[in-house]
Amino acid sequence: MAEEKQRSLLLDSASRFPLPHGARFSYGTAGFRSEGSILASTVYRAGVLAALRSLKTGSAIGLMITASHNPVSDNGVKIADPDGGMMVQRWEPFADALANAPDSEHLLHLVVRFVEEENIPFGGVQSAEVLLGRDTRPSGEALLEAAKHGINAIIGAVAIDMGVLTTPQLHWMVRSRNKGMVASESDYLAQVSKSFRCLMDLVPRERIADSLDTELVVDGANGVGGDKLEQLKKMVTGLDISVKNTGKKGEGMLNESCGADYVQKEKVVPSGFGPDYVGVRCASLDGDADRLVYFLIPSASSKNIDLIDGDKILSLFAVFIKEQLDVLYKGSDSNNKPPVRLGIVQTAYANGASTAYLKRLGLEVVFTPTGVKYLHKKAAEYDIGIYFEANGHGTVLFSENFLSGLECWSNELASASSVGSEQHKAALRLLAVSQLINQAVGDALSGLLLVEAVLQYMGWSIKRWNELYQDLPSRQLKVKVADRNAVVTANAETQVVKPSGLQEFIDAESGKHPHGRCFIRPSGTEDIIRVYAEASTQEAADSLARSIVQLVDRVLGSGNSHQ
């Protein structure tokens, strides 16, 4: 009886959200994304999916309505798993099938078959909980209602609207709720600000007098992050934060000529930043505040910027964490110390100069295929894992075993009259970092505060930070091909397995240029082969990229290679 009621409810509800004619949706790293006006059926079905995921896991699930750094007319939806991370890949084919079911009858058939295969309790025998968030896009409110309808179409499922949020805030809330912790937006802001204050209190006194300028100007991309940073800055001291492009009336459109994606790709001054900010430390968030980059405007006449990207943010965090571990583990009394393995995780797109710098520090650097889901999973294998993409998305992960051991050791140091010792301070700094950084997902707000705390600790200006290493010039191109699956790669996409002989040619061409490095990889969504090349000069990087593009076009292409 209960199952019949469930089927009837799902059929009736789904019929109100028909699939747009000719539309096709695919769940990728960013979830579903498209023009906001045609997404109601997709978001409704994502609501159904999230409710089923909650029933399957017995945990709270997150559903975020955002299109991140896309134009304001776009929108999207993605699911956060119980750990606050991305939805498990194994469910993506079902997500695709559900989003593209042509009518309510097909949708019901898909759901019934899937719940049987996955042994999901269906028909009200178990409760489910979905936390909802959305960014500031005009289409978000109507799509939120569609999501609620989808969640409510599953008996026993409850939709909890957490309000207008950054994407990382929602992920943090899901993770916290499932760990039995308080998980509202005010709890997030309180934890982040408290751990930042702790880190600032632990800045050595001798460095405070000579510390860098506290002025920081942040480009909020006219998105949700600007407003949240305005709230957060009232709760922290020691920083003079000005927020530009907050999304207020008259400041511009979401992600238009501003935001981390624009700044990182175009390497130009974002809108709202004029000659007054020459030499000032500047940062840029993306539309939903999960990416962060820094930049410096070198002169009043310059349209270009000195970019400090995700690779340099990773390097800054690595230097700081390595220093704390070195202090913590110095001496011979290591019996009671928790074992620690620090790992740096990058993709092939990381600038070769950053990888060389990290290896010179004696750090373990490993590579994964492109995509946050691969980076995050690999970083979680370490006691402390740091990952960042050049686009500014990344975080620091601490294992539960390491944190519990560190906390015990910190308490031992305190009880042994070692309070105030360098070892005790190092332990407290690492514990504070674990509370400040968002361990569920990349988070521009918590990442920004950690950057600021570390720069204060090191006594570094943005110029000094930028001089850690000199980026190798690079070039990215793409080639339109008949079938992207003709290219098969291995070793974290750094080597071509098929077609045979292609990798040998790439190696030979790369060897013609000092510091030459090149790799190709198929796009995940379209019949395009992406080409990345770097070398000691921009001319050499361009030449290397063009020669590989011509080869790929000759072997696989359509004669239509392009940037």
Spell out the domain ranges in the chain. Answer: 2-164, 194-307, 311-466, 474-562
Q: Does residue 388 carry a pLDDT above 50?
A: yes
| 390 known member of a binding site | yes
CATH code for 474-562? 3.30.310.50
Count of other CB atoms within 10 angstroms of residue 109 = 11
Has domain 311-466 been given CATH number 3.40.50? no
| Separation of alpha carbons 90 and 554, rounded Å | 36
| 524 known member of a binding site | yes
pLDDT, tens digit (0-9, with 9 covering 90-100), for 145-157: 999 999 999 999 9
Q: What is the DSSP string of 81-138?
A: -TTSSBPPGGGHHHHHHHHT-SSHHHHHHHHHHHHHHHT---SSSS-EEEEEEE-S-T
Q: What CATH superfamily is the domain 2-164?
A: Alpha-D-Glucose-1,6-Bisphosphate, subunit A, domain 3 (3.40.120.10)
Burial pattern 204-233, b for ≥16 Cβ within 10 A else e, equals: eeeeeeebbeeebbbbbbbbbbbbbbeebb
Cα 227 to Cα 99, 144, 187, 283, distances in angstroms: 32, 20, 17, 15
| 525 known member of a binding site | yes
Q: What is the DSSP string of 354-414?
A: HHHHHHHTT-EEEE--SSHHHHHHHHTTSSEEEEE-TTS-EEEEE-HHHHHHHHHHHHHHH
Which pLDDT score is estimated for 417? 67
Q: Which of 406-415, 424-433, 499-508 has the lowest mean pLDDT?
A: 406-415
| 521 known member of a binding site | yes
Mean of pLDDT values over 264-291: 94
Q: Does residue 158 carry a pLDDT above 90?
A: yes
- Per-chain mean pLDDT for the chain: 93
| 29 known member of a binding site | no
| 530 known member of a binding site | yes
pLDDT, tens digit (0-9, with 9 covering 90-100), for 485-510: 999 999 999 999 999 999 999 999 99
| 45 known member of a binding site | no
The reported pTM is: 0.94
Domain formed by 194-307, architecture = 3-Layer(aba) Sandwich (3.40)
Q: Which of 24-28, 316-320, 358-362 has the lowest mean pLDDT?
A: 24-28
421: confidence class by pLDDT, cuts 50, 70, 90: confident
| CA-based max dimension of the chain | 73
Distance of CA 462 to the CA centre of its chain: 23
194-307 and 474-562, same CATH topology: no
pLDDT, tens digit (0-9, with 9 covering 90-100), for 214-257: 899 999 999 999 999 999 999 999 899 999 999 887 778 999 99
| 523 known member of a binding site | yes
| 85 known member of a binding site | no
Q: Does residue 416 carry a pLDDT above 80?
A: no
Q: Which of 315-324, 403-412, 537-546 has the lowest mean pLDDT?
A: 403-412
Which pLDDT score is estimated for 420? 78
Question: If you ran DSSP here, which 8-state letter would residue 332 be given?
Answer: S
Are 328 and 430 within 8 A, CB to CB? yes
Q: Does residue 333 carry a pLDDT above 80?
A: no
To the query of whether residue 68 is one of the catalytic residues in this protein, the response is yes
| Separation of alpha carbons 480 and 558, rounded Å | 6
Q: Does residue 4 carry a pLDDT above 90?
A: no
Q: Does residue 284 carry a pLDDT above 50?
A: yes
Which pLDDT score is estimated for 535? 97
pLDDT, tens digit (0-9, with 9 covering 90-100), for 459-478: 999 999 999 999 999 999 99
Burial pattern 252-275, b for ≥16 Cβ within 10 A else e, equals: bbbbebbbbbbbbeeebbbbbbee
Which of 68, 104, 315, 446 is catalytic? The answer is: 68
| Separation of alpha carbons 61 and 57, rounded Å | 9
| Separation of alpha carbons 285 and 23, rounded Å | 31
| 187 known member of a binding site | no
Which pLDDT score is estimated for 332? 43
| Separation of alpha carbons 55 and 157, rounded Å | 8
| 391 known member of a binding site | yes
| 116 known member of a binding site | no
Burial pattern 312-334, b for ≥16 Cβ within 10 A else e, equals: bbbbbbbbbbbbbbebbeeeeee
Residue 366, strand partner residues: 345
| Separation of alpha carbons 380 and 421, rounded Å | 30
| 288 known member of a binding site | yes
| Separation of alpha carbons 222 and 309, rounded Å | 20
Helix axes 224-233, 444-458, angle to 10 degrees: 50
205: confidence class by pLDDT, cuts 50, 70, 90: confident
Mean of pLDDT values over 21-50: 93
Which pLDDT score is estimated for 415? 77
